[in-house]
Structure 1
């Protein structure tokens, strides 16, 4: 993307982020712990990164609002509808590969 101006690059990156969020909203069968174990990040990480970006720019965005944006609904509602309890195997894998964030 070396020949793309900064504004266009930012717009493309934003579009890719929106598509990722949309994809994760549709894939409610994929649990956060599975994402963490395979990729080292999950929906909560994305919402935290969104809040961090807002904080860096002085934009008021609560943790709850950033999670609602990523999940497409309040986090507690998403958990009730879609989150299952992690298996002992998933938890063991998480402990082995636990990211530092």
Structure 2
């Protein structure tokens, strides 16, 4: 089936399901650090939360950074950090600076 064979509603439904699965996967993989995601893929959980907030605001729904992060992390961001975040190694920091997205 070609992408053009999907209805707009089907495409949105499948995209939403894939997004939910990605978010659930990232919640289950607290061992994977955001800096590793950034260094390998160029995005992290915080990026996803920003994109989520951007989409909400584009639809006229106001959302804070803390609200969008809680949606992605499944808990308040500070709680996630306390449970899962480790200090970045010097090697991770160098890779991040080398690969940092241009804003």
Give the TM-score of the pair, scaled to structure 2. Answer: 0.96
Superposed CA RMSD in Å reads 0.7
1:5 shift after superposition: 0.4
Map 1:1-101 onto structure 2 (within 5 A). Answer: 1-101=3-103
CA deviation digits over 1:19-67, x for unaligned, max 9?
0000000000000000000000000000000000011110122211110
Unaligned runs of 5+ residues in structure 2 are: none
1:100 shift after superposition: 2.2
Unaligned runs of 5+ residues in structure 1 are: none
Deviates further, 60-69 or 87-96: 60-69
Give me the whole-angstrom Cα distance separating, in 2, the residues matched to 1:56 and 1:100: 23
Give me the whole-angstrom Cα distance separating, in 1, the residues matched to 2:10 and 2:48: 22
Give the TM-score of the pair, scaled to structure 1. Answer: 0.97
Give me the whole-angstrom Cα distance separating, in 1, the residues matched to 2:8 and 2:65: 28
Count of equivalent residues: 101
Runs of 4+ in 1 over 6 A off after TM superposition: none
